[in-house]
Amino acid sequence: AQKITQTQPGMFVQEKEAVTLDCTYDTSDPSYGLFWYKQPSSGEMIFLIYQGSYDQQNATEGRYSLNFQKARKSANLVISASQLGDSAMYFCAMREGRGNYGQNFVFGPGTRLSVLP
């Protein structure tokens, strides 16, 4: 079963508008973390935002916010005031489990965002 689903292979948004990138996940582990990464055309993976399963509030980082709906198992990324430099692939990822060391990630297929001038 797919653990991370991103239903939007591609999205367009007008510059300065807000856009929401969808992500739903599947896990039976009560402890998990959700992440969003940006991959521009240069190829590197850039960490954007993190939400822990026990976090009470939605995560925010500058223009990025995560709309975390635990009961629906969704963790949508909201980008406000889109900029041309936001054009990139966006990956939703989940880390399951607990422990003192990092666990591996499961990634979604990605959404390609194009910001129009």
Partner 1 sequence: EAGVTQFPSHSVIEKGQTVTLRCDPISGHDNLYWYRRVMGKEIKFLLHFVKESKQDESGMPNNRFLAERTGGTYSTLKVQPAELEDSGVYFCASSRLRHEQYFGPGTRLTVT
Among 18, 26, 52, 69, binds partner 1 (CB under 8 A): 52
- Residue 104 is a binding residue for partner 1 (CB under 8 A): yes
Using CB under 8 A as the binding rule, the residues of this chain from 58 to 77 that contact partner 1 are none
- Residue 108 is a binding residue for partner 1 (CB under 8 A): yes
Considering the complex, state which of residue 82 and residue 111 has its C-beta at the smaller distance from partner 1: 111
Considering the complex, state which of residue 102 and residue 117 has its C-beta at the smaller distance from partner 1: 102
Using CB under 8 A as the binding rule, the residues of this chain from 77 to 96 that contact partner 1 are 91, 93, 95
- Residue 37 is a binding residue for partner 1 (CB under 8 A): yes
- Residue 50 is a binding residue for partner 1 (CB under 8 A): yes
Query: 43-49 long-range CB contacts below 8 Å, 24 or more apart?
Result: 45/91, 48/77, 48/90, 49/77
